[in-house]
Homo-oligomer: A and B are copies of this chain.
Amino acid sequence: MSSVGDGDLTAKATIRNAALRLFADRGHDAVTVREIAAEAGVSPALVVHHFGSKDGLRAAVDAHAAHAFDALFALEGQDLAAALSGDNWLSLAELFSRALPPGSPLPAYLRRLLLTGDPAGSDLFGRWYALTRRLLDGMTEMGVAPPAGDPAVRAAFLLVNDLALILLRGQIAAAIGVDPLTSEGITRWAREVTAIYREGAFVLAPGEETP
């Protein structure tokens, strides 16, 4: 029995949402069909009836999550040009913390997707990588980013740094004392990241120069 959030959703959607939350929190393997059914307030047989199998449910959840992530980008896709202005790095984590309700299971689900080498996760990563490269190229062209010696690696580095905040959210929270996906946390984080991306984190050795 569950309850939370089933405000006139179809049973199928309720099951999908329950599965999303449970999968995100504890991993696909650790969650049983019976638990999902209980959380959704339905019988285990209904889960199979709607999704064919547990794997089918997993695929549906993957698709739903991927769609939700895409919607996130579409939402702010226009601001992509603004990001190119260069006075702020458009961060995945900032996007998440602004567009997602505080208790959303999506960041944790993304973590699972990327961790398990799930095709859905690789797909997402590939698309985001392409986006990052385009963004970086655009910024370089506009002169707000210096030309990179190895653009492919630089784009990967920037993307991966961004994802790390989501992947290691819990560990970071424990270390710095504030959840980095809350508005307070993301502010502190972004300030420091921006500083480093603008001024570097180490000083140049004497006699060195930026090329």
Contacts and interface: CB of A to CB of B under 8 A. Distances in A.
A205 to B, nearest CB: 6
Contacts of A192: 148-150, 153-154, 157
A192 B193 CA distance: 16
B153 A176 contact: yes
Given A139-B202, A196-B197, A203-B146, A176 B152 contact: yes
B191 A201 contact: no
A117 B199 contact: no
Given A144-B202, A164-B161, A176-B156, A122 B171 contact: yes
B149 A191 contact: yes
B170 A167 contact: no
When all copies of this chain in the complex are counted, the total is 2
Given A125-B175, A156-B175, A201-B158, A191 B114 contact: no
A163 interface: yes
B154 A165 contact: no
**Interface of A: prevailing SS:** helix
A210 B199 contact: yes
B153 A202 contact: no
A144 B203 contact: yes
A7 interface: no
A145 interface: yes
A189 interface: yes
- Which 8 A-B pairs give the minimum distances between C-beta atoms? A164-B164, A29-B29, A153-B192, A160-B164, A125-B171, A197-B201, A199-B210, A129-B175
